[in-house]
Amino acid sequence: MTDQNTTDPQPRFLGKESAQPASPDEAVLDYVPNPRVGELYLTRFAAPEFTSLCPVTAQPDFAHLVIDYAPDETIVESKSLKLFLGSFRNHAAFHEDCTVGIGKRLFDEMKPRWLRIGGYWYPRGGIPIDIFWQSGEPPQGLWLPDQGVAPYRGRG
């Protein structure tokens, strides 16, 4: 894994042609200075077409990911996040490992005030699996909107 936690104001991917990383370990996440340091606000990324592979069958698994965080000194650069999430397409891991791993990597590298991730996995074998992780209690006064993903209802 390369040194991901850069706060270089010139991200290495933005505005440049960028190859899709072969794996999450090879993916580099860029962080830039927070333009609103000291302000309490929530940033949300939604990835409704997240894909990884089942580690047992190698069949594709699909999820709607929602990542919410309250920035501190840095924010994640969105193109590097898109490339990182795309690197899971050929990565075999259970839903729990993907969801929690993404949240922990962002939290450990970016060091936001708070972060949560919801992984709303589409059913395979008849059972949808939803995975939730957060870094701790949200800061007092942070507006936390619902993640907006309806529970799975099948055809009903």
Q: Read off the pLDDT of residues 80-131 as tens digits, 9 standing for 90 and up.
A: 999 999 999 999 999 999 999 999 999 999 999 999 999 999 998 888 999 9
In one-letter notation, the amino acid at residue 134 is Q
**Mean pLDDT, rounded, for 3-28:** 76
Q: Which of these, 136, 96, 105, lies nearest to 4 by C-alpha position?
A: 105
- Is the pTM of the predicted complex or chain greater than 0.75? yes
In Å, the largest CA–CA distance within the chain is 49
Let me know: does 80 contact 29? Beta carbons within 8 Å.
yes
- Describe the chain by its helix, strand, coil percentages, rounded to 5: 20, 30, 50
Contact 73, 34 (CB under 8 A): yes
* Catalytic-labelled residue, pool 54, 72, 97, 130: 54
**108, 29 Cβ separation under 8 angstroms:** no
Domains of the chain (ranges, CATH numbers): 34-134 (3.30.1130.10)
pLDDT of residue 73: 98
Residue 98 among the catalytic residues: no
Of the candidates 30, 61, 68, 98, the residue annotated as catalytic is 61
Q: Which candidate, 77, 63, 78, 62, places its Cα nearest to that of 120?
A: 63
